[in-house]
Structures are given as C-alpha cells and as structure tokens.
Structure 1
C-alpha cells in the first residue's frame, strides 16, 4: 500500500517540476491505481480459490472412514474448526457436512433398531412354532415357508434403505465436493438442518 503512495508522490513531483505533461501524469496515475486494484482483486480471488479447494477437501475427507472407522468424522471436524472463524464459506460447508453426518446417524440408528425388532419378533415366532423339531432347514421350510419369507422380507425392507444411505453418502460427498470447489453452497438432500447453513 505504501508503495502506491510513494509512486504517486514521485509522479506528482515530476509533474510539478514540469518533467511530465498533465496527460502523462493522468495516464501514469491511472496505471498505478489500476495495478493496485488488480492486485487486490487477484488476492481476493486467490483467497476464494483456496477456501473453495479447502472446503472441497473437507467434503472428500469423509472418505477417510474407509481407512479407519471414525476418521471420516474426526478429520472434517478438525478441518472445520481450523478454518470456520477465518472463512464463512468454510464454516457453512462444515455445518452442511455435520448436518448430514448427524442425519445419517439418526437414520442408521432407526434402521438398526428396526432390524433388531424384526429379528426378535419373527425369530421368536419361528422358534415357538417348533423350529427345534426339524433336522434340516428344508424340513422347516416345508412346514413354515411363510414365516421364513416374512422374516426375510422384513429384513430386506429394512436393509435396502440402509444400503441406500451408504450409496447416498458416497454420492452426496462427491457432489458436495464438486459444488464447494465451484464456490457453491449445496445442502445434502434428506439432511436435517441442525445447523443453519445460510452463506451470509
């Protein structure tokens, strides 16, 4: 900033001594001011690009769960905590990630409870219907096919959404990373908004 003022002062000095004309003075003054404006714009653009890349990595860091369970939660928390006070965009993306993490945990917990309940209900029915009287699974199937199929059906209805959550988690993470890299705020669908994600 001081360099700009020094250059302008030198320019005024040259003009006051009559070394340069008024047209030359104005042209050089405009160049000095424009160079500084462009430098400021470039610095702002670079900061935005750094934040975009950082937020994109924050989304992708959820895949670290594949390396070690729990890392997909710890790494985004650390990344979010590191940058949330410096960048509103990083703060919003951190909140988006954790809205989804909490939501998917709730959905998965409900499905696990339903699987356990279905296994207990149908398992108890099958056990009390005399499963111990059969030497083979085929013998039990011949006498109680509907109970077995209803258990398998109930588990299937519950397990399919669990698989869907895993697939959606993968897809949403990729889309979130791409959108963040472009500087866009994108809330994961099906995500409960525990934290406000308005990018102000």
Structure 2
C-alpha cells in the first residue's frame, strides 16, 4: 500500500534510507558514493516526500568530503597533518551516512557534520 502525503508525493522512508546508505558504495567499489545518490535524488525528488531535502544534503556532504580530500593531500607535506585529515574524513564519510539513515528511518531531521552548502 502506497502512502500519499498532502502534497501529492508518496512517503517512502526506505528509499530515503537507501539513498543515505548508497554513499557507502565508495568504500566497497571505490566510486559511486556521489553518483548513485545524485541519480536517486534527481529522478525521485518530484515524487518522494523529503527526497529533495535529503538529496541536497547528501550531495553537499559528498562534495564537501571531496573538497576536504583535495585540501588534505597537499597538507600531507606539512608535518603530516594531511594524513590525520584523511583519516578523519574517512571516519566521517563512513559514520555520518549510517547515522542519517537511522534518522531517516525514524522520520527525524537529518544533519551532516562539516557540510558546505553548494546546492
């Protein structure tokens, strides 16, 4: 049974959770952590309640992580601080999608730590 909200969009928390967890594809395949959520967001933002907000947050988070990685690579030569930054980025990129997938399951407001709003 499909639940339709007052705005005419369907409520699909499982798809929102899948969108958050699809970011972990980067750790499995080496890519796809930005591409798959981007495709899900662009194709479902007009039909699923909350997908626009969740999709923008995910894309902004992934772009922020990418920017932080590019900044940390030259910082490796500065006393090795870039290595610590890369470790922090790796942990943050793994933990935050899981935390926000749990929040999406419960219907709570999501938040990604250290995200720059590009979109």
**TMscore range, shorter length:** 0.7 to 0.9
Note the C-alpha offset of 1:88.
4.3
1:141-152 paired onto structure 2 within 5 Å? none
Question: 2-side partners of 1:90 and 1:111: how far apart?
Answer: 31
Tell whether the 8 Å contact from 2:23 to 2:34 is kept in structure 1 after alignment. Answer: yes
Match of 1:169 in 2: 93
Note the C-alpha offset of 1:53.
1.0
RMSD: 2.0
Give TM-score scaled by structure 2 length: 0.85
Answer yes or no: is 1:43 the counterpart of 2:3: yes
Provide runs of 4+ in structure 1 moved above 3 Å: 42-45
1:47-126 paired onto structure 2 within 5 Å? 47-48=10-11, 51-115=12-76, 117-118=77-78
Question: 2-side partners of 1:158 and 1:73: how far apart?
Answer: 22
Give TM-score scaled by structure 1 length: 0.53
Question: 2-side partners of 1:111 and 1:101: how far apart?
Answer: 15
Question: 2-side partners of 1:71 and 1:82: how far apart?
Answer: 16
- Give aligned pairs, total: 115
Tell whether the 8 Å contact from 1:100 to 1:192 is kept in structure 2 after alignment. Answer: yes
Structure 1 residue runs without a partner (length 5+): 1-41, 119-153, 196-200
Bigger radius of gyration, 1 or 2?
1
Structure 2 residue runs without a partner (length 5+): none
